[in-house]
A and B are shown apart, each in its own frame.
Chain A
């Protein structure tokens, strides 16, 4: 069964550094998402992406965050200047269609980001 893959599985960075988290969504999916989960807390929506543009974003997704689909297969999340509070597990997800067809989201197993 096709799956969403994320790399790296664990990223350690220093405060103020830029990080790029990478995801390969399922190949025929059209909608892409980033979520994060701080240790012991809820899974939080960050951003959704369709047709090469952001379709929705949360308050968490401020100017320090950006997303890109640089080619036909990758979907990336960039954090420009990391803060300690960005330490979390970041999950990428994709779905075949959007809400009107209610296709499920398929999640990757996440990248654990540790900011020191």
Chain B
């Protein structure tokens, strides 16, 4: 599986934007970029995913570099509730069947008042 590299931790102040980077220099053309997060004592939660174009949803935005070797998850206004471990995961397209997500260590985001 192609690997991703994320900073171990980041800090933000409440109501400020947060940019969480992810490097994936060995990404293949069939890999989607997925982001999940895990709040304390909870299961992972889907945030967003994309292939080539930037994506927006109600939770976040995903900016994908033109060469696809890096991406950035953007939380537009961090809240205390956004304090979590954020995982950047590459997920290959398959022609059939489920395929697993492989979690790394992610980025621990701390949000302060």
Contacts and interface: CB of A to CB of B under 8 A. Distances in A.
B43 A56 contact: no
Interface in B90-113: 91-105
A31 B103 CA distance: 18
Nearest to B45: A107
Given A33-B98, A56-B99, A104-B34, A99 B93 contact: yes
* A-B residue pairs, 6 tightest by C-beta: A107-B43, A31-B98, A99-B99, A99-B94, A104-B46, A98-B98
Interface residues of A, number: 30
A49 B49 CA distance: 23
B38 interface: yes
Instruction: Say whether chain A's binding surface is mostly helix, strand, loop, or mixed.
Output: strand
A99 B44 contact: no
A100 B43 contact: no
B104 A42 contact: yes
Interface in B24-81: 32, 34, 36, 38, 41-46, 49
A66 interface: no
B105 A45 contact: no
